[in-house]
Structure 1
Amino acid sequence: MLVGAALMDEETRNTVVKENPAALLALSWYWATDGIGSKDMVVLPYKDSLLLLSRYLQQLVMESLGKEYDLDGNRVNQGLTVYGNKGSTDQHAYIQQLREGVHNFFVTFIEVLRDRPPGHDWELEPGVTCGDYLFGMLQGTRSALYSNDRESISVTVEEVTPRAVGALVALYERAVGIYASLVNINAYHQPGVEAGKKAAGEVLALQKRVLTVLNEASCKDPAEPLTLEQIADRCHCPEDIEMIYKIIQHMAANDRALIAEGSCGSPRSVKVYLGECNV
């Protein structure tokens, strides 16, 4: 993989755009989406061994290019939405809409030329192998989309090897960097991810406060079941009552809190306490 990645890294440093595959790929994205992410990217690799590629590209592209601000501080809300799966089996979940539904996408076909080693590809009928059928499905789907004015990009590799996979990864990484330069954003930080992590920490901190309040009430004799409003007031955060409800719902489902009255399906009716007092 490292050899393939290194070779592609060298290839994509070419300053002649038409000879730089990553630059061509990034420019194709820019053209297809008007440079503002106006269309989604559907990735269809036609090889079972590339099952995880579309999922990897989803993470790479969306995390890198989904940005609220550009490098000059302007709010631009950039990004490319990526989805897809194996074209070999899962295209039936997509193609009907892709050809005849809302035209809000472009397709990337990942084509692998070599099927199986000679003599190892089964013939489904005389002169037609499994690989031939796969080839026919890819090319037929591509033609069907084109005939209805649906754009697609084809990325072709000779065969699936560690070297080829490394080259594909490096190709897309460099293309993401070039596209980011075209639209003037920083592809190398993830403030949205950090915001999610920070919010998760705040939820866990609130849960600890809820547990403290419930424990104090449960240690009374008799135990004092509390409503959501009472829990929120004693946590000094009435504005977080919805999140407190979700915390209680999760705890009750996992037998960490007991519902004394009502049900989580009717939040205003709930009174809750802990099963035991933790002194």
Structure 2
Amino acid sequence: MSANWERYQKYLCDCPEAGMLIDVSGMAFNDDFFATMEPAMQEAFNAMTALESGAIANPDENRMVGHYWLRNPGLAPDSGIAAEIEFSVRAVKEFSAAIHAGEIAPPGRSGFTRLLVIGIGGSALGPQFVADALGGASDRLKPYFFDNTDPDGMDKVLAEIGPALAETLVVVISKSGGTKETRNGMVEAQAAFDAAGLEFAKYAVAVTGAGSELDKAAVAGGWLARFPMWDWVGGRTSVTSAVGLLPAALQGIDIDALLKGAQVCDELTRRRETRSNPAALLALMWHYATNGRGEKDMVVLPYKDRLLLFSRYLQQLIMESIGKELDLTGTVVNQGISVYGNKGATDQHAYVQQLREGINNFFVTFIEVLQDRPGKSLEVEPGVTSGDYLAGFLQGTRKALAGKGRESLTITIERLDAASIGTLIALYERAVGFYAALVGINAYHQPGVEAGKKAATAVLALQAKIMARLSSQPGVEFTALELAGAVGDEGETETVFRILLHLAGNPDRRVLMARGATIATSRFKSA
């Protein structure tokens, strides 16, 4: 018997309840690794038990962390929260059924045929991933997304929807209701409905926190419906709340199966036997590969087209959760794991070349789906299907990387359906929580995101001062340096220059640019 086969069997985690295998034998840890890490892992189990019991697991914001309750309301720390979760799921199903039956329909039409979801970050990435993974020609409503504040991107989506805007249900998702990107998308969508002579409120639904700006707007405007977001569910772990369930149900996805898959995985990942806990194995492999310091990148290679957006979803889930300056004691640690990926076998014709022969600064997670397609596959060669080639490329790439000392682990699922997508979501949510406990950080806040928002607000305030000065002196030309001095912000001359470039690049802003000897000495004026 080969040593590789013995190692494979020894470290293979079989989870038949979820139709999933986790193979970590391609990671080069020593045989004493698990024993060495076991005390820390048991502490991580304790921290997770406390979290699920309602402890303040997000101390920086003094919040509970309750996304696991979404799949099993009976675990919630009080009956009120459990009732809210159950009511929300029931409301999602009833509203979606009414939409599908045409009982709620757009004015003058028999029913809705399109769905426009407006959100950003966790309010878009999770729903987009689920929509792309599980959607298809039989969708009850065809989904579209505004997931940025890019006007051209929104124009592109609106052009794709075209005349069907009159049959488009709009779901606006924002916990606070004040997220500017989402607010801007809502304003742009409303303008498009107004331009088409359609009353936006007859097409609009809100998913938001009680009493938020969005909640108040939906009430005042008489929107079709409102669904809750709670402060104990973070955006990146909200896909099994109304944030993800409502778009999925409207699209026609089986949300009961999605929730059941997540619940089954939750049960598996509560096991305190480390070697039989798939999320614990993932967290420990991340810790081993990166020395608990993010020293290597995580490359996610799903060999399935429908999992194309999984790496993008995981980027936020993992990087926003793990990427922290301070640990729980306030010590500067600068933790993080960089995540990237596309899909196999496309990657084999892209960056696998570097993975095999370039800098060894990564570890790979292969994701394998055993079922190629429902039904019989065409043979592209005698006895060989396209799916056989895909499976062969996965195995071949694993071997090629291993031959150069590149480490990998493999997640295998039987088929891709709503239940297995729920399983993958729950698996990685729990792995993130375990890893955060192992390295002693708060995985459930995101102060760096707020810092970026504050900086953007300051830039827009400076832009307003620039526009006011230019408008007050029409025809007078300024360099960026002169204008920065005129508005009292010489220390922000670079920012002033970049604002002026953007304004001059959009004729409707009525700012003209005359190039100087160098672009930095260009002069700007109000038209």
Query: Which bin holds the TM-score, normalised by the shorter protein?
Result: over 0.9
Query: What secondary structure, in the 3-state scheme, does the structure 2 residue paired with 1:132 have?
Result: helix
Alignment of 1:174-253 (within 5 A): 174-218=430-474, 223-253=475-505
Q: Deviations over 1:123-176 (max 9, x none)?
A: 111111111101100001001111111100101100000110011011001000
Instruction: Name the residue aligned to 1:51.
Output: 308
Would the aligned equivalents of 2:504 and 2:513 in 1 still touch at CA under 8 Å?
Answer: no
Aligned to 2:238: none
Mapped partners of 2:268, 2:516: distance in 1: 62
Query: In the TM superposition, what is the alpha-carbon distance from 1:260 to its structure 2 partner?
Result: 5.7
- Provide TM-score, normalisation by structure 1: 0.93
Q: Does 1:66 find its partner at 2:323?
A: yes
Contact 2:299 2:339 in 1 (8 A): yes
Do the aligned partners of 1:260 and 1:273 also contact (CA within 8 Å) in 2?
A: yes
Q: Aligned AA for 2:341?
A: G
For residue 190 of structure 1, what is the amino acid of its counterpart?
Q
Maintained 8 Å contact 2:303/2:345 = yes
Aligned to 1:138: 394
Identity level (%): 56
Name 1:262's counterpart in structure 2.
515
Counting only pairs closer than 5 Å after superposition, residues 112-123 of structure 1 correspond to structure 2 as 112-119=369-376, 121-123=377-379
Give the superposed CA RMSD. Answer: 1.3
Gap runs ≥5 in structure 1: none
- Does the 8 Å contact 1:257/1:272 carry over to 2? no
Q: 1:135 to 1:261 in 2, by over 3 A?
A: closer
Written as runs of structure 1 = structure 2, the 5 A alignment for 1:72-83 is: 72-83=329-340
Q: The residue matched to 1:87 in structure 2 has which SS?
A: coil
AA paired with 1:79? G
Alignment match of 1:28 (pick from 253, 268, 285): 285
Normalized against structure 2, the TM-score is what?
0.50
Which letter maps to 1:132?
D
Q: Which residue of 1 aligns with 2:99?
A: none
Question: Is the CA contact 1:69–1:76 (under 8 Å) kept in the aligned structure 2?
Answer: yes
Q: 2:244 matched to which residue of 1?
A: none
Letter in 2 for 1:154: T
Distance, in Å, in 2 between the alignment partners of 1:11 and 1:163 is 14
Post-superposition Cα deviations, 1:13-51, rounded to whole Å, max 9, x if no partner, equal 111111111001100110111111100000000001111
Residue 10 of structure 1, CA deviation = 1.4
Map 1:122-133 onto structure 2 (within 5 A): 122-133=378-389
Please report how far the alpha carbon of residue 230 of structure 1 lies from its aligned counterpart in structure 2 after TM superposition: 2.2
Separation (CA, whole Å) in 1 of partners of 2:467 and 2:511: 12
One-letter amino acid matched to 2:358: G
Q: Say which SS state the counterpart of residue 239 (structure 1) adopts.
A: helix
Deviation at 1:73, TM superposition (A): 1.0
Deviation at residue 91 of structure 1 after TM alignment: 2.6
3-state SS in 2 of match to 1:215:
helix
Preserved contact between residue 283 and residue 434 of structure 2 (Cα < 8 Å): yes
Please say if residues 122 and 129 of structure 1, whose CA atoms lie closer than 8 Å, have aligned partners that are also in contact: yes
Q: Give the strand-richer structure, 1 or 2.
A: 1
Partner AA of 2:298 in structure 1:
M
Whichever residue aligns with residue 42 of structure 1, its letter is V
Superimposed CA distance per residue, residues 62-91 of structure 1 (whole angstroms, 9 cap, x where no aligned partner): 111011111111111110000010112233
Instruction: Please name the residue that 1:91 is paired with.
Output: 348
| Structure 1 pair 241–257 and aligned structure 2 pair: CA distance change class (3 A) | farther
Change (3 A) 1:7 1:272: same
Any unmatched runs of 5+ in structure 2? Answer: 1-257
CA drift of 1:271 comes to 2.0
Query: Could you report, residue by residue, the CA deviation over 1:217-261 in whole angstroms, capped at 9, with x for unpaired residues?
Result: 11xxxx322222221112111101100000000000102244364
2-structure distance, mates of 1:51, 1:162:
16
Structure with more contact order per residue of length (Cα contacts < 8 Å, sep ≥ 6): 1
Q: Would you say the 8 A contact 1:67–1:78 is kept in 2?
A: yes
AA aligned to 2:483 is I
- Number of residue equivalences: 269
